[in-house]
Amino acid sequence: MPKRSGKPSVRLQLRDFALTLPGAWEDHPWGEIVAKVGKKVFVFLGMDGPDGSGMSVKLTESHEHALSVVGAKPTGYGLGKAGWVSVPFEGADVELLQDWIEESYRNVATKKLIAQLDEVRPA
């Protein structure tokens, strides 16, 4: 993604944040940017380019709040039934999106990795 005003795109900021979580790594299934912990995806960041303008995360506590964001909807392919929400980047607060990425991580990571995260950043 091109940089504007010397600041990385929202997608890249969120990717970089996701990769700071214990055991997180980047993958590119279906040409999409995702962050995984172990073999499990905890955030879908879409594809580079103008069509990939949001993220999908698995939320429990913040599920209804995320769905109240303009343009947000349950994630397709049946994932919405399991708590996944697709949220647009446009007009969203990056810190709030980071909180939702961390919540999604906590929903799929092992207890051991969550304990490591809690050592540096309590829930």
> Would residue 14 be called left, alpha or beta, if left means φ above 0 and alpha means ψ between -120 and 50 degrees?
alpha
Find the CATH number of the domain harbouring 101.
Answer: 3.90.1150.30
Answer whether residue 78 is part of any domain.
yes
Q: How far apart are CA 98 and CA 5, in angstroms?
A: 21
Answer whether residue 121 is part of any domain.
no
Give 31-41 pLDDT, tens digit per residue: 889 999 999 99
Query: Does the pLDDT of residue 10 top 50, yes or no?
Result: yes
Answer whether residue 120 is part of any domain.
no
The structure tokens listed for 119 are 């050592």
The pTM of the full predicted model, rounded to 2 decimals, is: 0.88
Query: How far, in Å, are 5, 44, 100 from residue 32 at the CA level?
Result: 25, 7, 19
Averaged confidence pLDDT in the chain: 89
